[in-house]
Structure 1
């Protein structure tokens, strides 16, 4: 990655995870700057990674080559409008906010900008994230490389050809860790109801989830149906459980949940 000066506007968990990955991979901490209204998160970032920190968005952005917008969608307009006096013509702007279309940022900043939209998920915090990225034809390969390096510091990335595909990324990756948490949580609760100690139930469920994910990752030549069938002996215990899920409409429920997730993202695009 080009040794660019990177400024993070906002110092939440996602900012921390990206910075952690960058510094651990050898990126110079003196080229990384984070801003935030309150001081505790900044102090922690400075102590843990040796980066520059401040409360001054404008000065930090002015000094940066790359500006990463890491604030909540409902605060994005206010934050961007406060930086309208800056000349952003030679800077790359990266946003990790859900729902806000690229064209809206041009309005917020009141000037043409080079913008890349990204959609990371929370496992980015531990290096197992998945990030969807969109850039239009005005973005150079050099800028794409910078963005990819930033987001790969927290896991894997996938580029989408259409901005609208980021909504599918949200449903498939951005929001989906919560789906799995809910499923594992439900398994543990049932285990407890059946008489299992909570710690043992959690250990069993979480390791099974980890193992299943690794089976998928390490067997790319096998379909999910084949992997499932390999566990499911005819007339056995697994078959009984899977049949119960199928009769209960699990596939339809997943389809409905993900469709509603996409619909919400589309609604947000109209709101902000």
Structure 2
């Protein structure tokens, strides 16, 4: 296997599983993956794949080129500090813990007053579970170009990636794409319910809504035109689409979306301050 990678997954849940499914057999062997998780069932599942496991951080970490933190933000500080004794100068640390600034992770991993800045912070979203995710990424100063390439390669195993400048930008990523699937699901719920009110069966309304949303997003992805232009092409003056869009405008859909995303970004910043204490 070319360019074999040694990888520690600290937290063996769904996102770690999605990442591993895209890497094992392509970028690393199962035996090169070490999973740390306190859950017996979780560890058994990983061991069945051929990885090594542990209930808590151990010396095996020192053999791993990349540490991938996939634990709940509430326990992140404790877990990072437990891992710190096995940190090496060339260890690349990647975190997907929501609300944890990269600077906080660097401080927890550091020695004395010197932070460890070979850290990449990521914000994926739930479609990563089917390799269709969108991940925002930002790197601290200790991450060189080869590290950035490696981090991007790892996250591309679960979808697309976008580099942004800093933790503040990650808050914006959280508000748009991190929380975004919930906005889409809410819209789909409402569209399906409206279809049922118009006489469709729930199954028919669901099929129509899902196919329409999928087709529209695919068209927007592949078209060189902006969503605004695509919307205008669908909207005939005095037609059915115009009638529907007028209702959206009447109720201020654009303002509602702006306020919703702003609220999510603001909450992301609050969580960052809370969890990084």
Report the TM range for the smaller structure's normalisation: over 0.9
1:197 has 2:198 as partner:
no
Report the counterpart of residue 27 of structure 1 in structure 2: 28
1:50 has 2:54 as partner:
no
TM alignment of 1:164-203, pairs within 5 A: 164-203=168-207
CA shift for structure 1 position 53? 2.7
Report the counterpart of residue 16 of structure 1 in structure 2: 17
Task: Give unpaired runs (5+ residues) of structure 2.
Answer: none
CA shift for structure 1 position 3? 2.4
Report the counterpart of residue 269 of structure 2 in structure 1: 266
1:123 has 2:127 as partner:
yes
Contact 2:102 / 2:140 at 8 angstroms: preserved in 1? no
TM alignment of 1:130-145, pairs within 5 A: 130-145=134-149
CA shift for structure 1 position 75? 1.0
Distance in structure 1 (CA, Å) of the matches to 2:201 and 2:149 = 48
Aligned length: 270
Report the counterpart of residue 153 of structure 1 in structure 2: 157
Task: Give unpaired runs (5+ residues) of structure 1.
Answer: none
TM alignment of 1:102-121, pairs within 5 A: 102-111=102-111, 112-113=115-116, 114-121=118-125
Distance in structure 1 (CA, Å) of the matches to 2:204 and 2:170 = 38
Report the counterpart of residue 255 of structure 1 in structure 2: 258
Contact 1:25 / 1:153 at 8 angstroms: preserved in 2? no
Distance in structure 1 (CA, Å) of the matches to 2:84 and 2:31 = 26
Contact 1:35 / 1:60 at 8 angstroms: preserved in 2? no
CA shift for structure 1 position 24? 5.7
- Using structure 1 for the length normalisation, give the TM-score: 0.93
SS at match of 2:119: strand
